[in-house]
Amino acid sequence: MGNIADPNSCLDLIRDDINSMSNFLVDRMQDPSYAVREAAGEAVGRFSENVGLDFLNKHKEIMPCLLKVIKDLSISKHDMTV
């Protein structure tokens, strides 16, 4: 999802449906799977870069989950990429 948020890809389609995309990412950042949480965190970063205000206005829902993902990654024995 993060890769398709690139301005040269499907950015307009993402902007049109940003509410459901944001809810999807919030749900994935709470997934039991480490890999899913990590990928969702990376997608949030790419969305923040490319989608702009439409996505950043969702900060009240996204930031608590993102901070938890970052905290989990920082104490994890897995390699961090986010």
Q: Considering only CA atoms, give the Rg of the chain.
A: 12
pLDDT > 80? residue 57: yes
The answer to whether residues 72 and 37 touch, using CB atoms and an 8 Å cutoff, is: yes
Write down the pLDDT at residue 79. 63
Residue 41 belongs to what domain range?
3-75
Structure-model confidence comparison of residues 14 and 28, the more confident one: 28
Average pLDDT over every residue of 7-19: 76
Number of domains in the chain: 1
Does a structural domain hold residue 58? yes
Does a structural domain hold residue 41? yes
Distances from the Cα of 38 to the Cα of 6, 13, 27, 79, angstroms: 19, 23, 12, 10
Write down the pLDDT at residue 67. 86
**Percent of the chain at pLDDT above 70?**
93
The whole model's pTM is what?
A: 0.72
Average pLDDT over every residue of 36-54: 83
Report d(CA 75, CA 32) in Å as an integer: 16
Does a structural domain hold residue 80? no
Does a structural domain hold residue 47? yes
